[in-house]
Amino acid sequence: MTRKKPKTYEAEFRGKKVRVTVPQRHQTVAYSGEAVEVLRDVLRDNLSPQAVAAIAAHLHGIVKTTDDKANGEVVWFTQQLLEMLGDQYNALCEELGL
């Protein structure tokens, strides 16, 4: 039986190039439900409310491309973020200095 070699990547440590093992992910998370709810669950599991507020503030009314479809999708995503935060959005933005 052959043993699998762990995946590695090259990094610099104290001025020397070294090989570093890629950490294995042991946790498997399954999401189910409507796409919007899955999106919200994933964001809640991976981002703080402050990060969500900062992303929404950055996207809110500022991002414009030459692609109307992409612009509409950015607006939709921003609205999802704002809905997640609800009444907390303004307070979080103030806390973050935005």
State the pLDDT at residue 25: 67
Q: pLDDT by residue (tens digit) across 29-42?
A: 677 888 888 888 88
- Which pTM was predicted? 0.62
Q: What is the mean pLDDT of residues 58-62?
A: 79
Q: How far apart are CA 84 and CA 82, in angstroms?
A: 5
DSSP per residue over 32-62, as a string? -S-HHHHHHHHHHHHS-HHHHHHHHHHHTTT
State the pLDDT at residue 13: 80
Q: How far apart are CA 60 and CA 79, in angstroms?
A: 8
Q: How far apart are CA 85 and CA 80, in angstroms?
A: 9
Give 95's pLDDT tier (boundaries 50, 70, 90): very high
- Residue % of the chain over a pLDDT of 70: 90
Amino acid symbol at 46 = N
